Structure 1
Amino acid sequence: MNILFVADPLEVFQIYKDTTFSMMREAQRRGHRIAACEPRHLTWRSGEVVHAVIRQVTLTGTEDWFRVDATVTRPLKDYDAVIMRKDPPFDDEYFYATHLLEQAQREGARVFNRPAALRDHPEKLAIMEFPQFVSPTLVTRSADEVRRFHAEHADIILKPLDGMGGMGIFRVGPDGMNLGSITETLNHHGATTLMVQRFVPEISQGDKRVLVIGGKVVPFSLARIPQGSEVRGNLAAGGLGVAQPITERDREIAETIGPLLSARGLLLIGLDVIGDCLTEINVTSPTCFQEITQQTGFDVPAMFVDALEHAVEEDTTVL
């Protein structure tokens, strides 16, 4: 296959942990051809198909980890698979990129994850479809609603809907210290929606990343354990990543949500679970492939490329 990765600049990849790199490496190992571009390289001219300035690359296995074999301008539909792996934030430019990718899809490109599904499943709001798995949660702009929620649950977490890597997450305990100030910071005096959740004390045991690929559950999660006085387990916030077998509750959550979202065009999702509670559904560029593979020996990139090959073959059969 010819596989195009739409991602951040290759030059900024931290290949010792980068999930997109691990996908590329496994794909090349199987003989697939690899190409890459950034969302800013996508172009759609009226009356023409969506195309991009694309680098055809070979992974070298050396310190200079990739070699550019050619730079071409080519329609996205010419590739067997287009994998959208641009990291958050899901800002205006990400939103516009999904529309260009959706047009490419109409022209015949096979895009994973499906662009419309990326838009339809905001990573924090998506959990609200599954109330049986979440801790009490409120989505609001209203400071009064936040105060009532705190009065009911005493120990709460507040977070922006567009945060990533633990950015902008606050905990407010029973004393309510700084609740007003934190709410004003996150909702911009009522102009911005935020999420409030009852604090789940099992965060001390880790914020687990449970991966679902092609509707099937990876049998190990990565528990991201907060360090020191930090309440956030995110690796970007200094959390320690420890791979472990998924629990029965993890499996129940993943086997309920995974096939449903897979049918909507989400080949890869990452579920965040604290204790028994689902806290987030990651769809843009879920990570942790390398950490789980290195610590357990379970080959997550191989499972992903298996699923990609199957999805492309199935789509070709339908066409």
Structure 2
Amino acid sequence: MLVAFIIDPIASLDPGHDTSVALMEAAQQMGLEVWITEISQLVIRDGQAWARLTPVQLVPAQLVAGQWQVSRPWFQLGTPEWRSLEDFTAVWMRKDPPVNSAYLYATYCLDLVNPQKTRVLNSPAALRHANEKMYGLRFSSVMPHTLVSSDKQVIREFVQRQGTAVLKPLGGKAGEGILFLQAGDRNLNSMIEISTQQGQLPVMVQEYLPAAKEGDKRIILLNGEPIGAVNRIPTGDEFRGNMATGGRVAAIDITERDRHICQILAPSLRQDGLYFVGIDIIGGYLTEVNVTSPTGIREIDRLSDTRLAEQVMAGVVG
């Protein structure tokens, strides 16, 4: 069987961190042929989705003394070929945000893959509709107080009521552009103006949860079921716990409150075709639902002695 991964340039991936690499390794270890491509290599021919794909052989990372050890080089590429995506058992859309025009056009291409022949993960329609910041608003009962607006006065009033808040660009990733807002800050107007592009772009503003100091929990869900978690803890003067901003990771349990939140999300995730998802929880509240290229598997496997990528791939092709 063949499995395709639509990713960023493979040389830019970190094999000791990126979940896409863990999934590709798991597929290879299951005896599947792994092929890779990028969104710029997708085409439509006579109503069918094709791509210029390259077979890849990976040297799997090894867990040694609690750390991932990576060979150099860690991958070898074969000869690229134009192939129909329906030649593949599964196609993983693992391109990192931003979800820009090129990304959206790629999902339209993936819409034309016959689901009776090939499974596309996550659903292309869901990737378009499930903004990683906005999707969680469907489940407001388990979210902190949240505002979405481009209006400076509305945002100021929200911050004044809350005292402190966190501003998030709706299209951001890995903590990019997230700001800590505080009532009375003389820079508040400027920060709002810059983030909203002078009131032209809506942003999300959430009440600041003091529990963020204790960590931002990433939970991996497979078909709506939680299968592993990792805590991301801010370091130094940084208030963000994202790994990309230097957050320290630690093992953590999935609590009953976490499972309750997952149970609330599960029916919508399954209905929308969001098979592989990462949710973020702070202080028992859902803050984001990551659907494009959720990460965390490498850290969970390293800290908790699990093999989540193998579990995920077995669910996909089993």
Give the TM-score category using the shorter length: over 0.9
The one of 268, 284, 291 equivalent to 2:299 is: 291
Which residue in 2 is equivalent to 1:221? 229
* 1:31-110 superposed matches below 5 A: 31-45=31-45, 47-61=46-60, 62-105=71-114, 108-110=117-119
Deviations 1:218-249 (A, max 9, x none): 1x311110011111111111111112111221
Residue number in structure 1 paired with 2:252: 244
Partners of 2:151 and 2:199 within 8 A in 1: yes
Which residue is equivalent to 1:13? 13
What count of residue pairs does the alignment treat as equivalent?
Answer: 308
Contact 1:217 1:255 in 2 (8 A): no
> Following TM superposition, by how much is the alpha carbon of 1:108 offset from its aligned partner in structure 2, in angstroms?
4.3
- Give deviations 1:49-102, integer Å, cap 9, x for gaps: 221110012223442222223321101111111011011111111111111111
Give the CA deviation at 1:309. 1.8
Distance 1:166 1:105 in 2: 35
**Greater than 6 Å deviation, 4+ residue runs:** none
Report 1:102-251 matches (<5 A). 102-105=111-114, 108-218=117-227, 220-251=228-259
Contact 2:2–2:32 (CA under 8 A) maintained in structure 1: yes
Q: 1:172 to 1:141 in 2, by over 3 A?
A: same
**What 5-or-longer segments of structure 2 have no aligned partner?**
61-70
Matched letter for residue 221 of structure 2 = V
Distance 1:186 1:109, change over 3 A: same
* Contact 2:223–2:269, Cα closer than 8 Å, also in 1: no
Cα distance between partner residues in 2 of 1:98 and 1:108: 17
Instruction: Tell me how large the CA RMSD over aligned residues is.
Output: 1.4
Unaligned runs of 5+ in 1: 311-319
> CA, structure 1 residues 91+120, in 2 after alignment: closer, same or farther (shift >3 Å)?
same
User: Are the counterparts in 2 of residues 155 and 174 from structure 1 also a CA contact under 8 Å?
Assistant: yes
Secondary structure of residue in 2 paired with 1:50? strand
Question: TM-score under structure 2 normalisation?
Answer: 0.93
CA contact (8 A) 1:227 1:240 kept: yes
The residue aligned with 2:22 is 22
Aligned-pair CA distance for 1:138: 0.4
Residue 66 of structure 2 aligns with which residue? none
1:6-56 C-alpha deviation (Å, 9 max, x unpaired): 1111111110111111111111111111111011100114x3422111001
Equivalent AA in structure 2 for residue 97 of structure 1: A
**What one-letter code is carried by the residue in structure 1 that aligns with 2:28?**
Q
Distance 2:10 2:262 in 1: 31
Secondary structure, aligned partner of 1:24:
helix
User: 1:177–1:277: structure 2 CA closer, same or farther, 3 Å change rule?
Assistant: farther
Greater mean alpha carbon deviation, residues 55-64 or residues 115-124: 55-64
When structure 1 is superposed on structure 2, of 140-149 and 168-177 the one drifting more is: 168-177
Q: What's the CA shift string for 1:84-135, capped at 9, x where partnerless?
A: 1011111111111111111224684321101001111100001110011111
Cα distance between partner residues in 2 of 1:174 and 1:148:
9
Answer whether contact 2:182 2:188 (CA < 8 A) is retained: no
Give distance in 1, aligned partners of 2:27 and 2:149: 43
The CA deviation string for residues 183-202 of structure 1, in whole angstroms up to 9 with x for no partner, is 10111111101111110000
